[in-house]
Amino acid sequence: MPYGLRCEHRAEPLGIDEPEPLLSWRLSSGRRGDAPGGFRVRVRAEDGAQVWDSGPVDDPSAVSVRYGGPALRPRTRYRWTVEVTGTDGATAREESWFETGMLSPSAWSAAWITHDPSVQDVVDAPEEGEVALADHGLQPAVRLRRAFEAPAAPVAARLYVTARGLYEIRVNGTRVGDAELAPGWTDYRDRIDYQAYDVTGLVRTGANMLAATIADGWWSGFVGFDERRSGAHYGTFPQLLAELHLVHADGSADVVATCGDWQSARSPVRYADLLMGECHDLRRETPGWDLPDAGHDGEGWRTAWVAATDRSRLTASVAPPVRAVRELPARTVTPLAGGGFLVDFGQNFAGRVRLTARGLAPGDRVVIRHGEALDEAGALYTANLRTADATDVLIAGGDAETVFEPRFTYHGFRYAEVTGLSALDAGDITGVVLHSDTPWAGEFTCSDPDVDRLHEAISWGQRSNFVGVPTDCPQRDERLGWLADAQVFLPTACLNADVAAFFDGWLREVRGAQSPDGAFGNVAPRLAGVSDEGAPGWGDAGVLVPWHLYRVYGDERFLERNLDAMCAWVDHVHRHNPDLVWSNRTGPHFADWLAPTPTPRDVLATAYFARSAALTARAAEVVGSEEAAARYGALAAHVRKTFTERFVSADGRVHGDTQTAYLLALAFELLPDDLVPGAVRRLAELVEEAGPGLTTGFLGVGLIAPVLDAHGRADLAHALLRRTDPPSWLYPLRHGATTVWERWDGYTPERGFQAAAMNSFNHYALGSVGEWLYRGVAGLDQAPGSTGYRELLIRPRPGALSGASARYESVRGLVSTGWTRRDGVFELRVAVPPGATATVHIPTDDPAGVREGGTPVADAPGVSVAGTGPRELRCRIGSGDYRFTAALQ
């Protein structure tokens, strides 16, 4: 049975600009050994006319197809069905739809409009109290509106909208869609994403009003930490561009587009900034401004100013929007000695608060400050936010009750300090969690509650930092799309959530930030004034990320779209390092960032050079570029050889003799076979000597458990996992962490907080061990050569645990594993989706006694014995649900 239909990795997307969109589905079946024989996809227009028929395709492994029909029409809904045929000839079908967007920048007619920036508010000398409102030189948000008539309620209405800045748009007073911080962050100099909304139900016969508020956002607000260029990276004031397309019953169409006949005014949002926060002055609120009967004039309204008409950079957004995904109740509200309240949401997260305030007089101020931690005195700790003010301000208008929720900012916090209210009930304040709405795809749990808490903290790190783009942290004046952070965390991220579309969007930014010489950057999207060349492990993300996405999602377009950029990156490194040791053009060479034991820079860089060359060769092979595959394959072999000659001794010791040096050499397969055992031995010694403990930074941390496991030392991986002294994953959890910290020792009771200059409590990089929880502890993995979870590898590593389980919604369908160990019996349940096969490694003291469903494996239907290893039996299975039992002490 097909289910979970997607177009371009999104369910029922509006606004697809890809000319040959990928249509995909997942499969489920209650029957063991069920496998699809083939599929057929048909695409129809709204009127039912067939547009494309793939015809029967005999591909038992396919779960997707590229649309191959005639050119798609703009702003058109297409319905599609997939029919899957089982090997027994039975068919099952499912249906979905997608809708095209504008398809081409030339299809737009709208202009960029805003409030005339030359019209400034009159300035009065500040009164006492006014100066206390630090506005950081930010301007008020802008309101824009346009009244229009509809002769009759339209049969279809679509709104295509974007902003240089952030927008919130309404039809007749009702907010359109639920996207937050739209249109998201791109290098606006290269591309500006637009979103499409179905507003059919909002437009009525007669008078209507289209109304928007726009704010600075990434376009003209503060971004990053560079004090010489702290804001206005792309522009100086926000602008809106929108087209409302109305289709009438008689087939005629109308367009309401942003242009000079709109009206503009300053918004009561006195400023709104991602880093600084947001201030609403409700005294300036004019209820009804966004309704059809608002009138055409009124105080402060004037003709909108046309700022620009360039539409050439408009692209449909490909990533899922940021949404308010869940709410966190206040766990405690504590009155503060000096007045005000301290609210604890019990969880560090990215988002904002919603506050209900009562009994305020006009002009009263409520100030909400945000922080991740409390200091020794129990007060809000904000030193680590650096220049990010992270403060929201409500100026009361005099209503008996006011609900305040900022709209154009977000903060990284667990605690909020609220001043200006005489009382605050826990029920009056809520944490609103924002993140890119990547569908959650994975679940993990095990018998150790500490490890479960670690998994939770890792997952919250992902939620908090996938906000439009993958960021390093959500709280301080940074929040940049650092490439290495994303690269090392990606394998974990892919198991937690479906991040295909999210990373597809971000990779456009990674490519866009590439220099003419081929250097990827360190951050993407690019910021004005930032042009550093990618450091080893940072720039290499431009190669490693597409490759990993291809493996997880089986979508070759990740390689097609990125191959040229991958080749250019490897050529760049090669060109400047003809002796194949990467020591020139290493950008800011961050090395194994924040490692307790540093790894020599040239070892680390050269390892990444070899890895990028090797993956580029493999990508070229997949895409069918034989010449490139051969060229980069040969280069990779030479870099590997150089690495060994320069850095590896005859007994397998790697120069620097650090955990990360061995991890890179082993994970990237740089060593000749005869040197591997020596390197593994030395790695194990180093881990043992450290406690067992780890001494890696960002670049080694995600590799340590998988590499130890792959080389027979899962015992050490478990020891690291359960260690509680720093550096370790559990140490922060013992000290109140609810997200993974940037530093192993972000806080210690002996020394207190680490340097406030760089000490985030919500950084996901060190949480990249999350991958091994699924792959190692629960044993849910795909085989090394497999893509799109076609060939599964189920190999649980129980360690001293008594149980673990994982579920993962793969591109092919649901994969799950769950094992328990009780009274000498190991029980393993496995679910394999149709069309996939699996090799299952069952740990046991008695391989001959292993049963499936109570029957000896040799006789169990759909199970074949593939071999035995030290204390394990290997079986091959096809799709279906299985329950193995085995003796294991």
Q: Given the rule CB under 6 A, which residues bind ligand BGC? A: 472-473, 478, 482, 484-485, 590, 593, 758, 763, 765
List for the chain the helix, strand, coil content (%; round to 5): 25, 35, 40
Minimum CB–partner distance for residue 369 and ligand BGC (Å): 22
Burial of 757 (0-12, 13-18, 19+ CB in 10 A): exposed
Q: How far is the CB of 742 from ligand BGC (least distance, A)?
A: 6
Q: In whole angstroms, what is the distance from residue 202 CA to residue 184 CA?
A: 24
- Is the Cβ of residue 598 or residue 853 nearer to ligand BGC in the bound state? 598
Placement of tokens 């690495």 in the chain = 643
What count of other Cβ atoms lies within 10 Å of the Cβ of residue 28?
A: 16
Give the total residue count for the chain. Answer: 889
The bridge status of strand 64-66 relative to strand 77-86 is unpaired
How near is the Cβ of 716 to ligand BGC at its closest, in Å? 27
Choose between 508 and 763: whose C-beta lies nearer to ligand BGC.
Answer: 763
Q: Give the distance, in angstroms, between the CA of residue 266 and the centroid of all CA atoms in the same chain.
A: 34
Read off φ and ψ for residue 541, nearest 5 degrees: -55, -30
**In the complex, minimum distance from the CB of residue 767 to ligand BGC, in angstroms, rounded to a whole number:** 12
Longest C-alpha distance within the chain, in Å? 90
Both tokens of residue 678?
A: 């020596």
Can you name the residues that pair with 875 across neighbouring β-strands? 840, 865
Residue 847 Cβ vs ligand BGC, minimum distance, rounded to whole Å: 46
Whether 111 contacts 309, CB under 8 Å: yes
Spatial distance between the Cα atoms of 116 and 394, rounded to a whole number of angstroms? 26
Question: Least Å distance between CB 463 and ligand BGC?
Answer: 17
Start-to-end CA distance of the chain, whole Å, equals: 40
**Which CB atom, from 349 or from 404, has the smaller least distance to ligand BGC?**
349
Nearer to ligand BGC, 444 or 593 (CB): 593
Catalytic positions are 478, 742
Minimum Å gap between C-beta 764 and ligand BGC is: 9
Give the pair of three-digit tokens for residue 859: 């006789």
Closest CB to ligand BGC among residues 389, 478? 478
* Least distance from ligand BGC to the Cβ atom of residue 563, Å: 25
Q: Which residues pair with 254 in a beta bridge?
A: 246
Q: Taking CA 215 as the corner, what is the angle to CA 131 and CA 218, rounded to the nearest 5 degrees?
A: 100
| Residue 314 or 703 having the CB closest to ligand BGC | 703
Per-residue burial over 409-422, b if 16 or more Cβ lie within 10 Å, else e, is bbbbbbbbbbebbe
CA–CA gap between residue 841 and residue 64 (Å, rounded):
29
Of the pair 143, 463, the CB lying nearest ligand BGC is at 463
CB closer to ligand BGC, 526 vs 640: 526
Q: How far is the CB of 538 from ligand BGC (least distance, A)?
A: 7
Lookup: tokens for 320: 């899922």
| Nearer of residues 608 and 819 to ligand BGC, judged by Cβ | 608
Measured from the Cβ of residue 349, the count of other Cβ atoms closer than 10 Å reads 29
Structure token digits, residue 214: 């726009």
Alpha carbons 534 and 520: distance in angstroms, whole number:
5
- Measure Cα distances from 581 to 401, 456, 589 in Å: 67, 40, 14
